[in-house]
């Protein structure tokens, strides 16, 4: 009997004892192909020798210092690697231990930015329905995912409102062009600014490619340029949550690079440290850094394990490996192979409504009927059944979390490591197809 409060009290999960590359071994000796890196975390697979060595070195040299008293070399170097070349005008970094902490810090930083600017009334945030930005109560309030929000309502903050997600498969109207759909979504955001009072809004929050709640859903062309314009017109910040889709997962280091815009604040986590250590962070626009430095002089926020030296050393090595081994090129080519394999194997399946994503971040949306796009509905738990069937076939995939509101079909996410071989990609496709066929 386990003494741990597991997510499901009905069945404790199996115990994992070791992992190497894309393979995890359970206590009973069974090996599983990790096709989702947990939840799009293990971007280098498991046990990468360079990262293991970097952690060993760091723990022997400097294990921990409080970030209120000291900086450390690993954190400084990591910041240099991430923002030293000032991508999109992002010049500063701030390190925490998870994606939720990163979102909490982003919300507070946005508010403090406006406080420093003499605009204390800018306290509101607009986010999108069917979104997920973390599990702490502030981040949960930013998200619009019913499944996660309802058990913990009322949420602490009433500063959040939500507009429609960019979810073309279901929400683009018949005959509506991509450009018209984008214009409609931007108009809805504009209307929400007007309803709230534009000078009360601190920021608009969105994931460039929506992960767990919509299943690797990229926005239509021009969407991010349009919402950037709305934010700029009203002097509000754009916070992009790249916790899941960032750090190379979509084929560029940042998913926003494919959108022709840049955020004011970006949250990162999973692929930052690749799961070797818990780490998340903010990448911050120069004007926000300047406002804090020239204003009160300190970001009034912090955690005991902020900028942890071992976590930063691990993340630094992960990022060096991605750069030095040109893994973004690998993500693009293996992503293409994964996509083509899924299209070939499942593209005509009567219960596969959509296959979508970017790079090594691909999902399949399952429907009861392809023509009407009718959902199976939450009661059938088709996504969980596919996960279980895939497990039986020896592979881990990630069931999306967004089906509870019945507004979209079940989806299953794939996020293999950037080092996955062609044979492993083909095996992932085959195992998922087997699972889909077994369940549907």
Q: Compare residues 218 and 341 and give the one whose CB is closer to ligand PLP.
A: 218
| Smallest distance from ligand PLP to CB 74, Å | 20
Residue nearest to ligand PLP (CB): 99
103 binds ligand PLP (CB under 6 A): yes
| Smallest distance from ligand PLP to CB 400, Å | 11
Give the count of residues interacting with ligand PLP (CB under 6 A).
17
Residues in the chain: 440
Binds ligand PLP by CB under 6 A, chosen from 99, 309, 399, 400:
99
Binds ligand PLP by CB under 6 A, chosen from 67, 72, 91, 98:
98
**In 46-172, where does DSSP find H-type helix?**
49-61, 73-83, 99-116, 137-142, 146-149, 168-171
User: Do residues 346 and 364 touch, judged by C-beta distance below 8 A?
Assistant: yes
Distance, in Å, from the CA atom of 338 to the CA atom of 429, rounded to the nearest integer, reads: 7
Instruction: Report 259-288 residues binding ligand PLP (CB under 6 A).
Output: 269, 280
Peptide bond into 257 cis (omega under 30): no
Distance, in Å, from the CA atom of 267 to the CA atom of 53, rounded to the nearest integer, reads: 27
| Smallest distance from ligand PLP to CB 13, Å | 17
| Smallest distance from ligand PLP to CB 108, Å | 15
Q: Which stretch binds ligand PLP (CB under 6 A): 62-70, 72-80, 126-134, 214-222?
A: 126-134
| Smallest distance from ligand PLP to CB 365, Å | 17
Q: How far is CA 102 from the centre of its chain?
A: 11
DSSP state of 397: -
243 binds ligand PLP (CB under 6 A): yes
332 binds ligand PLP (CB under 6 A): no
**In 157-268, where does DSSP find H-type helix?**
168-171, 178-196, 223-233
φ, ψ of residue 157 in degrees (nearest 5): -100, 140
Q: Which stretch binds ligand PLP (CB under 6 A): 128-136, 325-333, 334-342, 368-376?
A: 128-136
192 binds ligand PLP (CB under 6 A): no
241 binds ligand PLP (CB under 6 A): yes
User: Across the strands, what pairs with 352?
Assistant: 366
211 binds ligand PLP (CB under 6 A): yes
DSSP state of 87: G
DSSP string, 102-130: HHHHHHHHHHHHHHHTT-TT--EEEEETT
Q: Which stretch binds ligand PLP (CB under 6 A): 68-76, 236-244, 326-334, 353-361?
A: 236-244
39 binds ligand PLP (CB under 6 A): yes
Instruction: Report 130-169 residues binding ligand PLP (CB under 6 A).
Output: 132-135
Distance, in Å, from the CA atom of 429 to the CA atom of 439, rounded to the nearest integer, reads: 16
| Smallest distance from ligand PLP to CB 98, Å | 4
Q: Compare residues 273 and 341 and give the one whose CB is closer to ligand PLP.
A: 273
Burial of 408 (0-12, 13-18, 19+ CB in 10 A): buried
Of 273, 283, 259, the C-alpha closest to 208 is 259
| Smallest distance from ligand PLP to CB 46, Å | 18
User: Given phi > 0 = left and psi -120 to 50 = alpha, else beta, which region is 96?
Assistant: beta
380 binds ligand PLP (CB under 6 A): no
Residues found near ligand PLP in the complex (CB under 6 A): 39, 98-100, 103, 132-135, 207, 211-212, 241, 243-244, 269, 280
């Amino acid at each position: 009997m386990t003494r741990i409060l597991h997510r499901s009290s009905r069945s404790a999960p199996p115990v994992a004892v070791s992992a190497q590359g894309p393979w995890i071994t359970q206590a009973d000796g069974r090996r599983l192909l990790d096709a989702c890196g947990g939840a799009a975390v293990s971007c280098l697979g498991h046990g990468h020798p360079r990262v293991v060595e970097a952690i060993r070195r760091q723990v022997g040299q400097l294990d921990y210092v409080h970030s209120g008293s000291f900086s450390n070399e690993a954190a400084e170097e990591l910041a240099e690697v991430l923002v030293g070349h000032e991508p999109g005008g992002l010049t500063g970094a701030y390190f925490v231990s998870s994606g939720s902490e990163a979102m909490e810090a982003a919300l507070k930083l946005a508010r403090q930015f406006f406080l420093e600017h003499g605009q204390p009334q800018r306290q509101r945030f607009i986010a999108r329905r069917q979104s997920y930005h973390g599990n702490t109560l502030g981040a949960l309030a930013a998200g619009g995912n019913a499944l996660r929000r309802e058990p913990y309502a009322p949420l602490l903050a009433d500063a959040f409102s939500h507009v429609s997600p960019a979810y073309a498969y279901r929400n683009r109207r018949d005959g509506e062009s991509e450009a018209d759909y984008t214009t409609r979504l931007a108009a809805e955001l504009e209307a929400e600014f007007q309803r709230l009072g534009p000078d009360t809004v601190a920021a608009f929050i969105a994931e460039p490619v929506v992960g767990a709640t919509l299943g690797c859903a990229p926005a239509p062309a021009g969407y991010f340029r349009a919402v950037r314009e709305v934010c700029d017109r009203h002097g509000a910040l754009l916070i992009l949550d790249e916790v899941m889709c960032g750090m190379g997962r979509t084929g560029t280091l940042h998913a926003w690079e494919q959108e022709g815009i840049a955020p004011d604040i970006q949250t990162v986590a999973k692929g930052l440290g690749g799961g070797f250590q818990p780490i998340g962070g903010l990448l911050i626009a120069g004007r926000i850094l300047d406002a804090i430095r020239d204003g009160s002089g300190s970001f009034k926020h912090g955690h005991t394990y902020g900028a942890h030296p071992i976590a930063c050393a691990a993340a630094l090595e992960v990022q060096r490996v991605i750069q030095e081994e040109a893994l973004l090129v690998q993500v693009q080519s293996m992503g293409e192979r994964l996509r083509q394999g899924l299209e070939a194997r499942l593209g005509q399946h009567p219960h596969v409504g959509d296959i979508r994503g970017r790079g090594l971040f691909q999902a399949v949306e399952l429907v009861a009927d392809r023509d009407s796009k009718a959902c199976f509905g939450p009661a059938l738990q088709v996504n969980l059944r596919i996960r279980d069937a895939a497990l039986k076939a020896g592979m881990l995939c990630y069931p999306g979390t967004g089906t509870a509101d019945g507004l979209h079909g079940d989806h299953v996410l794939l996020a293999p490591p950037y080092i996955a071989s062609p044979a492993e990609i083909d095996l992932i496709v085959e195992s998922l197809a087997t699972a889909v066929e077994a369940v549907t």
